Structure 1
Amino acid sequence: MAKIFISLGSNIEPERHLKAALIDLDYHFDELELSSVFESEAVGFDGTNFLNMVVAAQTEMSIEQVVSCFKQIEQDHGRVKGAKKFAPRTLDIDLLLYDDVVSTLPIELPRAEILYNAFVLWPLAEIAPSLNHPVVQQSYQTLWDNYDKQQQSLWPIEFNWSV
């Protein structure tokens, strides 16, 4: 079994889409661990605020199968295939880590945005503080402690998980 870390984000009906994504992830993966939900300003474009979180899970799937599963979940919840990168979205699901795999194909692992997006690093540090980044060999808590928190506005929010 591989341990994976997943980034979830939405700024179109975000509460509904995060809840729906978690139901789907729970169906496909084992032992979900959830970070807090964080609200952040849009990065890279002017848009409404995003809700973001990180989920850890266990899987027997290959990296390719995991990514394919995420793309299907995104599409099932209204994400348009081939839409602009920096634009509002119903659901964005990214594989951040697959065990300690370092690769460029089929996707880049670990995902580069771990090191520069607060909305990924803070929730990752929350659920895996002592885990080391497989390239920079620092814990996620250390990386978060050293992160320039003036770069991006981000704050934890109360989130009602009842459907």
Structure 2
Amino acid sequence: MNKRNIKVEKVSSVIETEPYGYEDQPRFLNAVCIAQTPLSPHELLNTLLQIERNMGRVRTIRWGPRIIDLDIVFYEDLVLSEEDLIIPHPDAHNRTFVLEPLCEIAPDLIHPVMGKTVRELLEDLRRRR
């Protein structure tokens, strides 16, 4: 990412989790990062998709096995809902594998739609489970 105008500033620990969605596959390794970029949200998405392709990702089964999956969870406090891109990620608040590592590096980051911090979202999710 650093070679593609995405300056990674902070990276969480890697956590291992059960697969999400399609469950008949190996466990996942998950991490999040905070990065700065002059790229627009769509340019960033296209760049991340290109990185995935370059690493050998082929999209077949939704939520199926994959070598890498790069998502935009937040983009500053932007709220965007378009056919090909939704920010904040529409299901991030329901995913422990997103919230746990994000809470490690940005617990006070506020979800621009829900108005809660990442820490609060993670606590809410744990209470629901």
Q: TM-score, normalised by structure 1?
A: 0.73
* 1:34-113 → structure 2 map (5 Å cutoff): 34-45=11-22, 46-80=24-58, 82-105=59-82, 106-113=84-91
CA root-mean-square deviation: 1.5
Conserved 8 A contact 1:36-1:53 = yes
Runs of 4+ displaced beyond 6 Å: none
- In structure 2, stretches of 5+ residues that fail to align are none
Query: Does residue 121 of the first structure (1) align with residue 99 of the second (2)?
Result: yes
Q: CA deviation at 1:113?
A: 2.0
- Comparing both structures, which one devotes a greater share of its residues to strand? 1
Letter in 2 for 1:77: M
Asked if structure 2 preserves the Cα contact closer than 8 Å seen for 1:118 and 1:149, the reply is no
8 Å CA contact 2:72–2:89 kept in 1: the answer is: yes
Larger RCO: 1 or 2 (CA < 8 Å, sep 6+):
1
Structure 1 unaligned residues grouped into runs of 5+: 1-24, 152-163
Residues 32-69 of structure 1 show CA distances to partners (whole Å, capped at 9, x for unaligned) of 21011010011122110000000110000011110000
- Report the identity percentage: 34
Aligned length: 126
